[in-house]
Amino acid sequence: MNRTLYQKIYQSHVVGSLNGSTDLLFVDRHLIHEVTSPQAFSGLRLAGRKVRRPDLTFATMDHNTSTQVRSYDAAGETSRKQLEALAANCAESGIELLDLYHPDQGIVHVIGPELGLTQPGMVIVCGDSHTSTHGAFGAIAFGIGTSEVEHVLATQTLPQQVARTLKVEVTGQLSPFVTPKDVILAIIGKLGTAGGNGYVAEFCGEAIRGMTMEGRMTLCNMSIEMGAKAGLIAPDDTTFAYLKGKPHAPKAEHWDAAIAYWQSLYSDADAVFDTVVNIDGSQIRPQISWGTNPEQVIAVDQPVPAPESFKDLIKADAAKRALTYMGLEAGQKLTDIKVDVVFIGSCTNSRIEDLRAAAAVVGTQKVAAGVRALVVPGSGQVKRQAEAEGLADVFKAAGFEWREPGCSMCLGMNDDRVDAGQRCASTSNRNFEGRQGRGSRTHLVSPAMAAAAAIAGKFVDISQMSVAQGAQA
């Protein structure tokens, strides 16, 4: 009684008490990738330790891979060494690896759910901050550092303290053209980049219930951008239907028992959250970031704010710096601003629904002259499905580059980068200075808004576009 969903899952994973208020939590799934794991394996070797549960550990290659050629060599010498290190570490420890040549390879937060590795009630960790994505299934999922990766490899546990709980209720129905990406950007705009620090956020309300699993993943994915330790959504029939038949989902003999357990995973009616935020979903309009952190966001039909419009001096100062970096002036309309690059991809927005939404906007139109546009599917499965549905043909005919799965231009670890001074409409999650390349200017938008920007050569208010019928993701 009176427990939040987070507290229920946390308590069921306590192995023991370490000291004071620190518990040792069991980890059900440990996802690893090439960038944040090599030093963890080296650490294990130095200490003479072994991987305790290779059967609960799964690896892929995504951050540091070429999206043009499927080859370890394609992204340079140091990248090749990193990929080879992961392959060798997985082989030595008996960890299943979806390497670059595996048909289901992809972004770790896309393939985990796709393969059914992500399930309600789990504790899931990965050396990547966007692990919060998996919270869409009603799992406690969060990013960890390399020392913690080593700790989980060695013990299948992690020391934790109970986080505070934040309830974000999004009531009402979303307008057409308003996607989960717009919802989470609006939430971050309201709460700020540090508004969730120390909290696990549970999203609920009619607008959330109406979202598909893909949409819920987009939402939880960006909960880290408001500083939350994790984002959570209670599992429901949408969740169960998504999981049924997935390769690692519970098999027939366990299915009913799993469902019964999953149905117990919700916040009790009398549960008390430390903080509650209510948002009227019907009032959210298509969002676009104008600055250099994800809270610097406006509805696309609003003017760029003036620094002096912020009462908080810190925010005013941040706005001033951001406008300078972004090459924008207060009062400008972003729909008057040209784009140089369009990136549709990342663990936030590279799933099949995202590509469908983007393709619906593109239709038979062409990418504007002078705009470089990329579509990078989140996984091999997404890529094959998009090709089967004809979406890839839509993109290619329009002049988009159709790439191999990977993190790509979200963080530009490989050769997919935005040049200094270039402006990018991006479906990714971070608009930090230099994130997509030194001097790059990132505007975070939904897949439909990104596609519309590619066609128009400038930002577009998607709600004003007649071709956007059915473009809601």
Partner 1 sequence: MSQIFAKGLVCPLDKNNVDTDQIIPKQFLTSVSRDGFAEALFFDWRYQADGSANPEFILNEPQYQGASILLTRTNFGCGSSREHAPWAIQQYGFNVIIAESFADIFFNNSVNNGMLLISLSASNIEFLFNRCKQGSQQWQIDLANQEILLGNNAAVGFAMDQDVKQRLLSGLDFIGASETLSPQIGQYEAARKQATPWLG
Q: State the binding site for [4Fe-4S] cluster.
A: 347, 407, 410
| CB 94, min distance to partner 1, A | 14
| CB 437, min distance to partner 1, A | 9
| CB 157, min distance to partner 1, A | 6
300: left (phi over 0), alpha (psi -120 to 50) or beta: alpha
Q: Are 240 and 256 in contact (CB under 8 A)?
A: no
Residue for token digits 């939402």? 219
Q: Which of 406, 331, 394 is nearest to 367 (CA)?
A: 394
* HSE-CB of 425 using CA atoms within 13 angstroms: 35
The total number of residues shown for the chain amounts to: 473
**54 versus 286: smaller Cβ distance to partner 1:** 54
**211 versus 220: smaller Cβ distance to partner 1:** 220
Q: Are 260 and 273 in contact (CB under 8 A)?
A: no
Residues paired with 402 in a beta bridge: 375
| CB 419, min distance to partner 1, A | 11
136 contacts: CB under 8 Å, gap ≥ 6: 113, 213, 216, 217, 219, 220, 221, 231, 233
Q: Where are the beta strands (DSSP E) in 225-344?
A: 230-232, 275-280, 287-289, 297-299, 341-344
φ, ψ at 229 (rounded to 5°):
-65, -40
**36 versus 472: smaller Cβ distance to partner 1:** 36
**103 versus 198: smaller Cβ distance to partner 1:** 198
| CB 414, min distance to partner 1, A | 9
| CB 262, min distance to partner 1, A | 10
**240 versus 384: smaller Cβ distance to partner 1:** 240
**50 versus 338: smaller Cβ distance to partner 1:** 50
